Chains A and B, each alone.
Chain A
């Protein structure tokens, strides 16, 4: 006779391993004073172009670097290398998203104290990256005008895992009859109160506002770290 099956309570987060590494990364980033921004979007939404321009412009006043996740090619790293900022490719093979351990491994040998901004470009995918915390301070979800205004309604989960939405390729908005109000409304429907930026990396329209926003967030984060260090000291 076999024994009676019994039920034991476990209560464990399936992604606890990833979340633990993400927590370690977040502490390292905080201690080094580096502000980490990750980018998620569907393929072809303009992440790499946005990042190339962002790195080029921020590099004039800040120490910047980037990690780029891609399934197979190293084209993105080559493109971003044109910004003269340090860039490392994470080739994920068949994996459809970045995990915290991959970010940790890619950062081996990097002195985070020498950085102000670190950008992490996720694999182009609006589904899988939403489950994985990478230890970033800020997650941007990009949405290009050519994808249609209803992307947020189709992928509410990724919009709920991100902090700020960025509408890209605004220079093409009139050509594709992009309806900004509808897109903005759809973001608000799935994520009430979410900040939405709009820009064109190619024309430069809106880039200044976006970079101002990132700089503001870097300074706020450093002030918060400083205040908590001061208040922790007796």
Chain B
């Protein structure tokens, strides 16, 4: 189904997408998922705490029950033309190079919402 998921905050529907993605991998590779590693950019529009809570709740009745969600938060990086390099910004309220102060909207990191890895155990060896 491509249809929209339900939920009164979008972290819940995102948690369900993460679970769906992990389940697909788990069935394809015939493994049990014990943890999902996620990269979360500061501009992804997703709140870490809300996502952790939603994930735990949404896992309940699935094969991922008890799996952990490990979130790596990524700060915003911009390309600074003055420095000629990637740089952090002063703050998300001020998109200026943290080193030299030049404004830049050229975002090179910070929008990620990506499952990067799964911690898994083999299916056939797990106790029945």
Decide if B34 is an interface residue (CB 8 Å cutoff).
yes
Q: Closest approach, in angstroms, between the C-beta of B32 and any C-beta of chain A?
A: 9
Complex-state Cα separation, A188 to B103, whole angstroms: 9
Decide if B9 is an interface residue (CB 8 Å cutoff).
yes
Most B C-beta atoms less than 10 A away, residue of A10, A95, A127, A157: A10
| Residue from the list A5, A6, A131 in contact with B113, Cβ < 8 A | A131
CB < 8 Å A-B pair total: 129
Do A190 and B95 form a contact, CB below 8 Å, given A9-B116, A14-B113, A128-B45?
Answer: yes
- Classify the interface of chain A: helix, strand, loop or mixed: mixed
Complex-state Cα separation, A127 to B47, whole angstroms: 10
| Residue from the list B45, B105, B116, B118 in contact with A127, Cβ < 8 A | B45
Q: Please tell me the size bucket of the interface on B.
A: 35 or more
Complex-state Cα separation, A191 to B111, whole angstroms: 14
In chain B, positions 107-123 with a C-beta closer than 8 Å to chain A are 107, 111, 113-122
Contact pattern, A 1-22, Cβ under 8 Å of B = 1, otherwise 0: 0111111111111111100010
Decide if A153 is an interface residue (CB 8 Å cutoff).
yes
B8 touching A21, Cβ below 8 Å? no
B21 touching A5, Cβ below 8 Å? no
A7 touching B118, Cβ below 8 Å? yes
A156 touching B43, Cβ below 8 Å? yes
* 26 pairs, CB–CB < 8 Å, chain A vs chain B: A2-B121, A2-B127, A5-B34, A7-B117, A7-B118, A10-B116, A10-B117, A10-B118, A11-B114, A14-B21, A14-B115, A15-B14, A94-B6, A94-B7, A95-B6, A101-B3, A127-B10, A130-B43, A131-B44, A131-B45, A131-B46, A157-B44, A158-B45, A161-B45, A192-B96, A193-B105
* Pairs of residues from A and B, 5 with the lowest C-beta to C-beta distance, nearest first: A192-B103, A130-B45, A128-B10, A131-B45, A3-B125
Residues of A within 8 A of B (CB): 2-17, 21, 92-97, 99, 101-102, 105, 127-128, 130-131, 153, 156-158, 160-161, 188-194
Apart from A5-B34, A15-B113, 19 more pairs, CB < 8 Å: A3-B122, A3-B126, A5-B120, A7-B119, A10-B21, A10-B117, A10-B118, A11-B117, A14-B113, A16-B21, A95-B13, A99-B4, A101-B2, A101-B3, A105-B3, A161-B45, A189-B95, A191-B105, A192-B95
Residues of B within 8 A of A (CB): 2-10, 13-14, 17-18, 21, 25, 29, 31, 34-35, 37-38, 43-46, 92-96, 103-105, 107, 111, 113-122, 125-127
